[in-house]
Structure 1
């Protein structure tokens, strides 16, 4: 078994903020074609694989000891850095793509070089990166001010080639302080929004109507692409945190947010229209339109407008009371609504005992999830509990750690390119370990056995992609155990032990799904006869 341990990841190079217009004037850059992604910031040249280690060590030291050097004109523009976040994340992805490809190539090269001995494997442990683990450094901030932030996770397939089937999916995180409003906007992506913490008033705006809902932790709602919506945090004390699975409809893995109003962070998309088009559309002089919609009065220079600072703004309690009058609560009686919010805990858990509970809604039970082919789960585990080894038959699962900490182990088969020099060697499994904490994301590919050990009281949510007819198969426990369903004649041929020994082994665990985590070192038991295919079970020890 080759063990893949994760260590502290290198910092992703951060582009130095510059003013796009000024850059074009200084360097004579051509205007971008409308079809190209905006790239208002300079990007460092991609590093070659052999330069990666030296760069990461140096960057880590620099981050601790010294701030990043600024360009001569940066001080003037520093306070406006966050204004360009929306454009920046699109441009930055092209650099991340090159960087992560170098990273994956280097990791594969190191894996091949390290297969000779433990002495070779040891020095590279500080370098390896778990391609399925995304910590908070992998989020890119789109908007941020004193009232909250909006962040987007790095594209899955740019982190690792093993996640190519997630190239059309993105993860968004929204966090806002009490008594705040996320301004009205829409996106060219289907959203599946889940409330992790706090309460919200979420309003969907249609052509001739609007629907407002009071939401709380565990509530979920699909927001179809192109639907204008806004979100209020009505609580006086608690922050609101939402996680969103975004499925872009225009470009794979890329989407845009279109805000109706102008702020210091971004322009209203209405400002993209010509002056005469706006006058004809509203049958009003442009000066009045400019004043009412865009905050600019006649004679004012750019930068003097009366604009909100960002897309998250403060809202008065009186305004909240008025908005609350029209808001409906999410349904606690049904999970099959076609367009209304539903709660993950509205029905009994599918797995439950004194150590943990798993609530789940599948596409077969909810039309909103069926349209997206996604299941939703929420898991509560006590400290010291173990979510038994299992694998999903079809679904790729994206875990979102909400509260607490856990250790996770994932098992896959070593990739062919890592075995090409050892064609006659037995197939080996590869173990990926990670220590997870709040705000971390972890991806579990279909068919990969996984186990979760709660090192504190733990709460996490999960999106299951490609979920229709998915089956969760357990490898231990008294119920739903696939090994116990294998006939004794086949068991005796597949394992070193007798059928009776295997039966006794399975029956020794009286609990199912969630059990006490009591690691037992049974070195002598692992010295038994080995077959040509390493047992998946052995990878967990």
Structure 2
């Protein structure tokens, strides 16, 4: 009898183990099918970069990568999901008046957006120095590996730049970008310092004393002041000037000489001379030498652009590679949305790109839905917040009742983005209304028709029903009104 009871107990334990195993396999299988939707509230609260449960799609993990008396650079890390690196980080550059972010190149592509202030940006394009003077609203692309510098050319205003950091070409995909400083000294060290002194002296054709003078003068950090009030700055600029004078002693090339190697060597020498001239305020390189004229993509000002879509409740602007050719290389899009107080950017889906956004002013709410129809996030946002929306995930932005909400950002595709709006006069519900959609909702066609046609606005909607009724009472809109969406984000 004891033996029988033992056998029964063993059988029961075995059955429980099998049941537990099957249950675990079922849960794992469901999670594998459902992806992020199966993660639920736990991940929303524990998501990296989302402390205190602000929301799965709010990027809060930031790092101050440099700070000097003249400015600072802060990076916001993109979200890392299931071990996959983020394709993009967001950078914030702040510079005091009359300061320089010294020449460097980094292992990532950048798109600079001037939030406030004025900047002079110099960068190498086709082995020539190009200079752009940027004002508030301007965007400018800098390819990975292209040497560049930034000057706050304003006399009294701080310069604030927001930039995308595309990690596709980084040394370590998804990691923070690595700076390689061309200029420098003791702090930061120039990449030239990594070579043996005798090798560098021979390469530059200067004495060891001349080399030491220029390589050990700069101690102010990556962002330095350009005016004469900085105690250690004159020595640095003096050293640069002496090297610049040395480089101007180039040999004359016979006009009949077609030797391309010599011409390329001279062009490279001219490029460095031009870079130093620019830092010393010697004027535009393109004026100094006609051979140096390079046709580079012009900068693009978002604030001077006609909205892609606009109505009484706000407007949106979207820029793709057809509007700004420099976006072809980076394969990124740029957008700007302004919602009036209490207005909503209708629930929609981006079928071709992931979206990153930065709140420029105002406050509001961002709502995101999981594929299984549950709420993924309902988070309040305000100025300075950074968010991201994965491709295919439905979402909407709502401005608070107190003030407009303005946000700017990037999409991970330079192609024309055609979001699918789920609600509104130009939505999927409106286009697909019929017996099939009515059956899917379990209602009659008449009921579906009333539901879909109740909202007369498109894309940017009022959230107050009374406000919408008042507007409809003032001016009755034609039922067959055609909404013209010219291009870009809402094309």
- Verify same fold: TM over 0.5: yes
Q: Secondary structure at the match of 1:503?
A: helix
Q: Is the 8 A contact 1:489 1:499 kept in 2?
A: yes
> Partner residue of 1:430?
375
Q: In 2 relative to 1, CA 429–347 (structure 1 residues): closer, same or farther, beyond 3 Å?
A: same
CA distance in 2, matches of 1:220, 1:454: 25
Residue 247 (1) aligns with residue 193 (2): no
Of the three residues 171, 196, 199, the one matched with 2:118 is 199
Q: CA deviation at 1:390?
A: 1.0
1:472 aligns with 2:430: no
User: For the residues of structure 1 that align with 2:285 and 2:378, how far apart are their CA atoms?
Assistant: 44
The answer as to 2:336 corresponding to 1:378 is yes
TM-score by length of 2: 0.67
- Is 2:215 aligned against 1:293? yes
Of 290, 306, 325, 1:367 maps to 325
Q: What does residue 74 of structure 2 align with?
A: 151
| 2:65 equivalent in structure 1 | 142
Instruction: Measure the CA separation in 2 of the matches of 1:247 and 1:462.
Output: 13
Question: RMSD of the TM alignment (CA)?
Answer: 3.2
Q: For each residue in 1:89-141, what CA deviation from the matched residue of structure 2 results, as whole angstroms up to 9, or x when unmatched?
A: xxxxxxxxxxxxxxxx9x959749x9xxxxxxxxxx99535231013xx2111
Choose 239-248 or 403-412, whichever is displaced more: 239-248
Q: Distance in 1 between matches of 2:434 and 2:399?
A: 34
The answer as to whether partners of 2:339 and 2:405 remain within 8 angstroms in 1 is yes
> Take 1:401 and 1:109, find their aligned partners in 2: how far apart are those partners?
26
Q: How does 1:32-43 map to 2 (within 5 A)?
A: none
List per-residue Cα deviations over 1:310-356 (Å, max 9, x = no partner). Answer: 2112223999998495399xxxxxxxx96221122444211101221
1:481 matched residue in structure 2:
427
Q: Verify: 1:441 aligned to 2:386, yes or no.
A: yes
What SS is found at the alignment partner of 1:270?
helix
Q: How far has the Cα of 1:429 moved from its partner? A: 2.0
Partner in structure 1 of residue 345 of structure 2: 387
Distance 2:411 2:323 in 1: 14
The corresponding residue for 1:81 is none
Aligned to 1:95: none
Q: Residues of 1 paired with 2:440 and 2:282: CA distance?
A: 62
Cα distance change of structure 1 residues 482 and 467 upon mapping to structure 2, 3 Å threshold = farther
Aligned equivalents of 1:271, 1:519: Cα separation in 2:
66
Secondary structure of 2:53's match?
coil
Matched, 1:182 2:129: no
Partner-residue secondary structure (3-state), 1:156: coil
- 2:478 maps to none
Structure 2 residues not aligned, in runs of 5+: 1-35, 230-236, 238-277, 287-294, 467-491
**Contact kept in structure 2, 1:176 and 1:241, CA below 8 Å:** yes
Q: Secondary structure at the match of 2:326?
A: helix
| 1:331 paired residue number | none
What SS does the corresponding residue of 1:367 show, helix, strand or coil? coil
Equivalent pair of 1:190/1:225 in contact (CA under 8 Å): yes
Alpha-carbon distance, 1:309 to partner = 2.1
Instruction: Say if 1:465 and 1:126 are closer, same or farther in 2 by CA, change over 3 A.
Output: closer
Distance 1:126 1:185 in 2: 34
| Structure 1 Cα separation of the partners of residues 385 and 455 of structure 2 | 31
CA distance in 2, matches of 1:222, 1:287: 38
CA distance in structure 1 between the aligned counterparts of 2:67 and 2:185, rounded to whole angstroms:
12
Greater Rg over alpha carbons, structure: 2
The separation in 1 between residues aligned to 2:395 and 2:139, in whole angstroms, is: 26
> Aligned residue for 1:407?
365
Q: Quick one: distance in 1 between partners of 2:118 and 2:151?
A: 9
Instruction: Report if the CA contact (8 A) 1:338-1:367 is conserved.
Output: no
Mapped to 2, the partners of 1:109 and 1:323 lie a distance apart of 57
1:238 to 130, 153, 157: 157
Query: Matches of 2:76 and 2:411 in 1, distance apart?
Result: 17
The partner residue of 1:256 within 170, 174, 178 is 178
1:217 to 136, 143, 148: 136
Structure 1 alignment gaps of length 5 or more: 1-104, 115-124, 296-306, 329-336, 414-426, 521-541
- Does residue 352 in structure 1 map to residue 310 in structure 2? yes
Q: Residues 447 and 382 from structure 1, CA distance in 2 versus in 1: closer, same or farther, beyond 3 angstroms? A: same
Paired residues of 1:143 and 1:265 also in contact (CA < 8 A): no
Asked if 1:461 is matched to 2:384, the reply is no
Match of 1:266 in 2: 188
TM-aligned CA distance change 1:144 to 1:408, over 3 Å: same
Mapped partners of 2:282, 2:56: distance in 1: 43
Relative distance call for 1:289 and 1:440 in structure 2 (3 A) is same
1:340 and 2:298 aligned: yes
Aligned partners of 1:178, 1:390: CA distance in 2, in Å?
Answer: 41
Q: Kindly indicate whether the alpha-carbon contact (under 8 Å) linking 1:213 and 1:327 is maintained by their aligned counterparts in 2.
A: no
Q: Does 1:279 align with 2:237?
A: no
